[in-house]
């Protein structure tokens, strides 16, 4: 799925659309996305100029966007917005640097009346860089 196809599902737009593609999608179950960390991204001018690293909060947001695609690609949720309701057990295991390619995975484990929980993991190569449990509501 291309960036334009992602935009047809979730409402995020540049500069806050943090996905470049979706490579695997099973609506209401599982998805895999990719983010190519652009060395020219404005964020690196301030985080940190002498030792640039992608902020962890942006990794979590990219993971949540994969989860939103998994949810909102299903016809029952098409046209809705997925809002964060919580983040638990977030762990940052390795830094993500300009030029890295992140693989972002999200599995939805519970869905009930528009409220859901997902397990999300981010990788650079085979290295786990971040994991978190995320919760959301579709409205």
Confidence of residue 125 (pLDDT cuts 50, 70, 90): very high
β strands within the chain, DSSP E: 21-26, 30-36, 82-92, 101-112, 115-124, 127-138
The answer to whether the bond into 48 is cis (omega within 30° of 0) is yes
Give me the catalytic one of 12, 47, 74, 78. Answer: 47
Global pTM value: 0.97
Residues in the chain: 139
Report the distance separating Cα 82 and Cα 36, nearest Å: 23
pLDDT tens digits along 44-92: 999 999 999 999 999 999 999 999 999 999 999 999 999 999 999 999 9
pLDDT of residue 3: 97
CB 78 within 8 A of CB 27: no
Can you tell me the mean pLDDT for 99-123?
96
Confidence of residue 96 (pLDDT cuts 50, 70, 90): very high
pLDDT over 90 (residue 113): no
Active site residue 74: no
Q: With respect to CATH, is domain 3-138 assigned 3.10.129.10?
A: yes
pLDDT of residue 21: 98
Q: What is the mean pLDDT of the chain?
A: 97
Q: What are the C-alpha distances in Å from 89 to residues 4, 32, 42, 75, 102? A: 32, 20, 29, 30, 20
Percentage, residues of the chain above pLDDT 90: 97
């Amino acid at each position: 799925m291309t960036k334009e196809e992602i935009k047809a599902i979730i409402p995020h737009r540049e500069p806050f659309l943090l996905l470049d593609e979706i490579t695997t999608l099973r609506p209401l179950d599982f998805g895999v996305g990719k983010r190519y960390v652009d060395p020219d991204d404005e964020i690196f001018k301030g985080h940190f100029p002498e030792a640039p690293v992608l902020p962890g909060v942006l990794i979590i947001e990219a993971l949540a966007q994969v989860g939103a695609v998994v949810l909102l690609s299903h016809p029952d949720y098409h046209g809705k917005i997925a809002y964060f309701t919580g983040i638990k057990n977030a762990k940052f295991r390795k830094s993500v640097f300009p030029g890295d390619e992140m693989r972002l995975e999200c599995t939805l484990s519970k869905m009930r009346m528009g409220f859901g929980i997902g397990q999300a993991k981010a990788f650079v190569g085979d290295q786990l860089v971040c994991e978190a449990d995320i919760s959301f509501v579709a409205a």
